[in-house]
Structure 1
Amino acid sequence: MKKTITLIKKTFIVVSIIWTTITLVFIGFMALSGPPSCGIDDLDNETLSETTGDLPDFGFEEMDGNTTFTNESIAGTYTLFYFWGTSCGICVNEMPHLYETYTELQDRNFQIIALSYDQSEEKVREFREDSPMPWKHIVFGSDREKMRDTFNAFGVSGSPHKILVSPEGEILERVEGFNGDELYAMINNHLPSS
């Protein structure tokens, strides 16, 4: 009887250790993989418009500049629209890949316009102090209506959301979520050879 109780205790301990290990591995995997994209609270219950192969009409004022970006002003250039926010951990983790892609391709008729849904330009400025972001920036700030209208027109429901546009204004690629190392190849495939 004593041997049976000892065997049951040992079996229970072994099963507990295995179960705990499986649980910890699963939790670690979920923490590292994270969600595919960050939700944007201000877009809840919004109906996204259908997107076609053409870019919707737009007009954006550059943060810290006097430039207005329009369909006409980006014509002739491959443009990546990068929808993001400083509160989006996935966006923050993708910034080194975005920076590497930009520095490698900027001399090949390529630009990035980052559109932040942050409510404060100051948050974006502070973020840029620690993370190199030499491309153009749009911050919607307190104009939540314009932000919602823009994100709906572009078909954006989460971040990061990337839209690559040809010099003719045609949408070439649309990706929501983390691209990481694949970002460079995705864009490079569309650009003319250097």
Structure 2
Amino acid sequence: MKKTCVHLMLLVVVFCLTTIVQNRAFSELDEGLGKSLKQDSVDVWEDFLNTLDRRGLSDPHWELESEDKEKLINYFKAKIAASVSEGLTSLPERLPSYVHRFPEGMLQTLKSHAENVLKVNPHNGAAAKFLAVEAFHKVNTQISSEKYPLLEKAMVLAPNDIEICFFAYAACTRLGDQTREEALVALERMLERLRGGDHKVSYLWTVRLYTSEVAATPVQIYLKINKKHPIIDRWEVVLTEILAVFENELLQTPDSGVFNIIAYIYEAVGDIAAAQAVFKNLKPFYEKRLAENPKDRTALTSLANIHNKLGNTDLAHEYSVKVNPTLAWEGQVLPEFSPVVDLDGKPVSLADYRGELVLLDFWATWCGPCIVEMPNVKAVYEKYRDQGFEIIGISLDTDEAALRKFIKENQLPWRQVFDGKRWEGPLAQQYGVRSIPAQFLIDREGRVISVKARGKRLNALVEAEIGDTID
């Protein structure tokens, strides 16, 4: 009985000391901020978000004022001191989305503070969560094995926190295949914490598994796993639970994106009949959209995909061509250019290249994917140029000086056509080019092999046409 009383007294003392420390922290913050974070703490975080351009990350020169840095440091120290209540931290929910915009000095200050707090109190879930978010806000595969325990610790110490589970899953998808099992554990925990709660909340978290926040969706990971692997059954349980969330959402709010996710989950688990039934139900939705707007690219693309899934390949191609008219040229002899000249003022004609394998490359210096693709194009050109492979660049730039500078700096030796008219240029108009890069690979007889000859596919197609052997 005495031991019990002593134990209770110790608990009371600890509670009182904790309360005193927290109240003192809030009191000090009141002096620094001019208002009580305890009563209105969300304002500090909201003020921070409002300093960002549309709460986004578009301004690379954005800086936080010194006074605001101090406010945020004190704000997070108070949140970390509060630890966990009812299985949740009081850290702002959007922290993982914005922490990489914290000034480095401020971030390191908070990291050191959280580390010290966790040393004194290893059960402080807020400190653990902050350290986990800080460790993985810039994913580096080299630190995956040593830093993953931070995610694990945060999930355990904040047993009702859904966000940390989602963040852990997202981090694992970016760390690669070696963390598939950890990704599964994070996903299982997230779904368990959502179970039995508000459906809308479950849907909003689950649908984020299919956004750019993650490097791989649950279906994509599942499809990579050997079906004899011991964890495959657990992945199927997870997919079934995700499926139930989306099917429930579909009953309340019909949505084309949800239809698609459901169909792909059915496909992944091998229930093709169920997947096709979903696609058939989805088809009238897009047909109605297309009737209302015949240029609706989303409807056209979706109908192309649906008919492809249903085995209607001719209809699928018909819809695809409406989205991307260049597809109609595949397998056809490409008609001669409208009269054009290259940057040296010399006439360019397809007839001049008859008997050679030609890449007609529509691109621009302002096109990010084009610039990313350029080293690949250059490597293939250097590998096969002596075997009859040529390139004609069709620039959709408007600034000739910038184009010439790029060509010189990147040593692009092939001819370039430029007229400064972008999409209204005669060749883009003649061949129906609506997006770039658009890379037409044309055989020796002038027939189009592919209008999507880029990446590894470009090398494979050129190698197959020329008959060379892959190194």
Structure 2 length as normaliser, TM-score? 0.33
CA–CA distance in 1 between the matches of 2:441 and 2:362? 11
Query: What CA deviation, in whole Å up to 9, does each residue of 1:135-194 have, x standing for no partner?
Result: 11111214764x1x4223223221111111122211122217xx3233211112112559
CA–CA distance in 1 between the matches of 2:420 and 2:382? 27
Query: What CA deviation, in whole Å up to 9, does each residue of 1:56-115 have, x standing for no partner?
Result: 22132111x242111322222211101111111111001110110000000011110010
Q: Which residue of 1 aligns with 2:406?
A: 127
Cα 1:6–1:166 shift into 2, 3 Å:
closer
The answer as to 2:428 corresponding to 1:151 is: yes
What is the aligned-residue RMSD (CA, Å)? 2.9
The answer as to 2:174 corresponding to 1:19 is: no
* DSSP-derived class of the 1:190 partner: helix
Q: Which residue of 2 aligns with 1:39?
A: none
Q: Which residue of 2 aligns with 1:34?
A: none
Correspondence 1:50-89 to 2 at 5 A: 50-51=328-329, 53-58=332-337, 59-63=339-343, 65-89=344-368
Query: Structure 1: which 5+ runs fail to align?
Result: 31-45
Specify the code of the residue in structure 2 equivalent to 1:151.
A
Q: Which residue of 2 aligns with 1:29?
A: 215
Cα 1:47–1:180 shift into 2, 3 Å:
closer
Cα 1:16–1:143 shift into 2, 3 Å:
closer
CA–CA distance in 2 between the matches of 1:123 and 1:114? 15
The alpha carbon displacement at 1:6 in A equals 4.6
Instruction: Report % sequence identity.
Output: 22
The answer as to 2:461 corresponding to 1:186 is: yes
CA–CA distance in 2 between the matches of 1:174 and 1:57? 16
CA–CA distance in 2 between the matches of 1:92 and 1:67? 25
Cα 1:122–1:28 shift into 2, 3 Å:
farther
CA–CA distance in 2 between the matches of 1:67 and 1:191? 28
Correspondence 1:37-48 to 2 at 5 A: 48=325
The answer as to 2:406 corresponding to 1:140 is: no
Higher relative contact order (CA 8 A, sep 6+): 1
Greater fraction strand: 1
Query: What CA deviation, in whole Å up to 9, does each residue of 1:17-62 have, x standing for no partner?
Result: 12234456543639xxxxxxxxxxxxxxx99485360112213211
CA–CA distance in 2 between the matches of 1:130 and 1:163? 25
CA–CA distance in 2 between the matches of 1:129 and 1:22? 44
* Selected match of 1:115 from 384, 390, 394: 394
Q: Considering only CA atoms, is the larger Rg found in Structure 1 or Structure 2?
A: 2
Specify the code of the residue in structure 2 equivalent to 1:184.
N
- How many aligned residue pairs are there? 170
Greater fraction helix: 2
The answer as to 2:104 corresponding to 1:104 is: no
* DSSP-derived class of the 1:94 partner: helix
Cα 1:19–1:193 shift into 2, 3 Å:
closer
CA–CA distance in 1 between the matches of 2:350 and 2:341? 13
Query: Structure 2: which 5+ runs fail to align?
Result: 1-83, 89-157, 175-211, 217-322
CA–CA distance in 1 between the matches of 2:325 and 2:85? 62
Q: Which residue of 1 aligns with 2:451?
A: 174
CA–CA distance in 2 between the matches of 1:166 and 1:70? 15
CA–CA distance in 2 between the matches of 1:128 and 1:28? 36
* DSSP-derived class of the 2:386 partner: coil
Cα 1:117–1:130 shift into 2, 3 Å:
same
CA–CA distance in 2 between the matches of 1:79 and 1:119? 25
